Amino acid sequence: MAARAFWRAQTKLLLLATAAGGAGAGAFAIANSEDPASALKLSTTVPIRLLRDAATAASIAFDYEYSLWGLPDGSKERERVKHEVHTRSALKLQELCFRNGGIYIKLGQHISQLEYLVPDEYVQVMRQSMLNKCPVSSYEQVLEVFKKELGGAPDKIFDEFNPVPIASASLAQVHIARTHDGQKVAVKVQHTHMTDTAEADYATVELIVNTLHRIFPSFDYRWLVEEMRESLPKELDFLGEAKNSIKCMDNFRRLSPRIAEYVYAPTVYWNLSTSKLLVMEFIDGAQVNDCRAIKKLGIQPSDVSKLLSQAFAEMMFKHGFVHCDPHAANVLVRPLPSGSIFGKKKPQLVLLDHGLYKDLDNSMRINYASLWKGLVFSDANAIKENSVKLGAGEDLYVLFAGILTMRPWDKVIDPAVDHLVVQGTDRSELQMYASQYFPQITELLGRLPRVILLMLKTNDCLRAVNRALIGDASLETFFIVGRVSSEAVIQSKLLQSKSVLTRVRVWFEEFLLEARLFGLQTAVWLLKLQKALTL
């Protein structure tokens, strides 16, 4: 009874702190508003959103405490009930994200990728809803944006404009239109509520996260709030997004010419684009996780998986300028426009939504490449050395390696060629580790540089897409990561070489590396042959 009373006291504290903070959050947003109408709107919407947050948090907390009360740890009954509570709570959180919209949906999308940190029920519920079922702005709201940004209605600016969006995301929705010269375009329109409530939502989410951290010290997501405060204004600037797409394509042409034609970003119509409206070339393609649609295009999902791994490895390890939101709705696949090779259609990736990019400085880029090289080649010393350089510390580098690979340490350093491939039976083991080491994982995420946290998010997105394409990351995926990361490390050493002797040493290292990669590739081929013969 004492424990239950203590829990109730905690829940009341959360409610009181959240409600009390509502006035402060609302007042802050209103004081910083230049639009009196928006300020008045905020003064009514912010308290409602805060109360909604508090009610949802209290409901979830009570459900866990009441439903699991008295059930012994490790019992089948407790596990059954816990699964039910996880599912109910995930649905409550999903409803809260949809009702509040904006930043909350971004949080829901992030939760959908945290397989190593939250129960699978939350991951699955958020993944099924947060990418393609976001709230839609009304046509009146779309008109409002057009009039403010371009001074006229869509039917005046375009020859045709479909008022029904083809897609809606957390920050914007997309309409199909046709220009006066007959070009089919995609028009990305920012949701009006994003600018109306963004600052207040920052304050609200920060309040909730800080309050939860005070009550439950092991629950520390303050780093996530800080990251959102920094990255979201950039995502809300569509002109910045357009510039990112151009820089990304230029990097592929300069630094990764071998695959440059296999990666594409839609052309931007600059004369029709503003910070809240983005008009782009319309691209018809299949979503990157839609195997059936990809096969209808005459493309093999395994080829898409390899190209996806190659493209993002190049961005991370060679470009240092990384698209950090490659979830399924942001990447399309189409046949390579230049034609097929020996009658076989090759895929081209079309990257959408260039709002969230991160720069890796040269030192961090090479350390990150060296870490992945060590992971692929089971080099424990390299893993430890570069994990420490990236901020994990000598006490949590093993955990860091586990989060990156979704494998326990004994598998990470196993010399077997397939040591990093996650089997279907490993999922329950991963969830057990996540639950067992939750405080350490939270500490690690708070310790790592935010740019590395975004690399983790990118890895999680890519892992989810690869799972849809081929079941799980394949040996070929890790071979690609090993090759590109190794090339980046060798290139860096050659650039830093100041003597002939040093260059000779690096060339010899490169020779040994090529031999090792050849051995790895041969092992991959043999395992594929063995698998084919046993089918």
pLDDT of residue 429: 62
Cα 197 from Cα 293, distance rounded (Å): 38
| C-beta separation of 180 from 159 below 8 A | yes
**CB count in 10 Å sphere of residue 197:** 23
Count Cβ atoms within 10 A of the Cβ of residue 54 and give its class: 0-12 exposed, 13-18 middle, 19 or more buried.
Answer: buried
Paired residues of 281 in beta bridges: 185
In tens digits, what is the pLDDT along the chain, a chain of 535 residues?
A: 333 433 444 444 444 444 444 445 445 544 554 555 555 555 666 677 778 888 888 888 888 888 989 888 878 898 889 889 999 999 998 888 888 877 788 778 777 776 666 777 888 888 777 766 677 889 999 999 999 999 999 999 999 999 999 988 878 999 999 999 999 999 999 988 776 667 777 777 777 777 767 766 666 777 777 777 788 888 889 999 999 999 999 999 999 999 999 999 999 999 999 999 999 999 999 999 999 999 999 999 999 999 999 999 999 999 999 999 888 889 999 999 876 666 678 999 999 999 999 999 999 999 999 999 999 989 999 999 999 999 999 999 999 998 888 888 888 998 877 777 766 545 556 666 666 777 788 788 888 998 998 898 888 888 888 888 887 657 788 889 989 999 999 888 888 877 878 778 878 777 777 777 777 777 767 766 766 677 5
pLDDT of residue 509: 76
pLDDT of residue 295: 93
- Closest alpha carbon to 126 in 103, 99, 169, 97: 97
Residues involved in catalysis = 325
Q: What is the pTM of this model?
A: 0.82
DSSP per-residue letters across 409-466 = HHHHT--STTTTPPPGGGHHHHHHHHHHTHHHHHHHHHHS-HHHHHHHHHHHHHHHHH
Name the DSSP class of 316: I
Residue 151 CA, chain-centre distance (Å), reads 35
Strand 357-359, strand 160-161: pairing: unpaired
**CB count in 10 Å sphere of residue 136:** 14
pLDDT of residue 305: 93
Measured in degrees and rounded to the nearest 5, phi and psi for residue 113 equal -105, -5
